Amino acid sequence: MPGLTNTEQEVLKYFVRYLNKIHPGEITKVLLYGSRRPFQK
């Protein structure tokens, strides 16, 4: 399966928006630093 379908992209968008409502900014931190260092609060 090459790449994401339009539906999967929409789901990801809503998923990120949903998580940002719970923990504002946390998703951005995970996306920026998650692959480089372990998750820290």
Q: pLDDT value at position 23? A: 67
Q: pLDDT value at position 27? A: 67
Q: pLDDT value at position 16? A: 79
In angstroms, the CA 13 to CA 23 distance is 15
Furthest CA-CA distance within the chain: 35
Is the pLDDT confidence value at 1 over 60?
Answer: no
Domain ranges of the chain: 1-41
Q: Which two tokens stand for residue 4?
A: 């994401």
In angstroms, the CA 1 to CA 38 distance is 29
Q: What is the pLDDT of residues 6-36, one digit of tens each?
A: 898 898 888 878 777 766 667 677 777 655 6
Q: pLDDT value at position 21? A: 78
In angstroms, the CA 19 to CA 14 distance is 9
